[in-house]
Amino acid sequence: MDEPTGPKEAKKERVLHTRVPAVLERELKRFAEKLRIPVSNLVRTILEDAVSVADVATENVEQGLKRAAEHLEHERERLKKRIEQHDPLAGVVAFQEVTLAMPVSCARCNSELPAGTRVHLGISDGRDGREGPRVFVCGTCLPRA
């Protein structure tokens, strides 16, 4: 059966499956581990990066991923910066345990944290121009020594 299509469906994020050589998979995993982010986040960042860098009019997503991945070794630093821009905890220098007065989502894993939960409020040093809403993380996502 075909999946229903329509405006509602178009907004959903899609799951892409693509073949990658084993060595590339290892590389992606190693890189993601180093940055302490899920591989899927890394792949998404690489794709977004490829899309923004390249003229994608004639290039499909899979080609974009392959091409970007080929350059992974050389573009580590640039990608790292880019991922850090996406990092909801970038600029956070400390966490303080607080009790929620209203429900929020964990900034890292997105799990819903109801009012009354003990969570950790990210405190920014305010020097990097970080703006936006306060960030909270759940106990699981709290960095550990």
Integer angstrom CA distances of residue 92 from 27, 36, 69, 84, 138: 28, 15, 29, 12, 15
Size of the site for Zn ion (CB under 5 A): 5
Of 56, 93, 109, 115, the one binding Zn ion (CB under 5 A) is 109
How much of the chain is in helix, strand and coil states, percent to nearest 5?
40, 15, 45
Residue 141 in contact with Zn ion, rule: CB under 5 A? yes
Residue 92 in contact with Zn ion, rule: CB under 5 A? no
CB nearer to Zn ion: give 22 or 145.
Answer: 145
Residue 106 in contact with Zn ion, rule: CB under 5 A? yes
Burial-class residue 75 by CB neighbours within 10 Å (0-12, 13-18, 19+): middle
Of 46, 69, 135, 138, the one binding Zn ion (CB under 5 A) is 138
- Please report, as residue ranges, which positions from 13 to 72 form the binding site for Zn ion (by CB under 5 A): none
Q: Which residues bind Zn ion (CB under 5 A)?
A: 106, 108-109, 138, 141
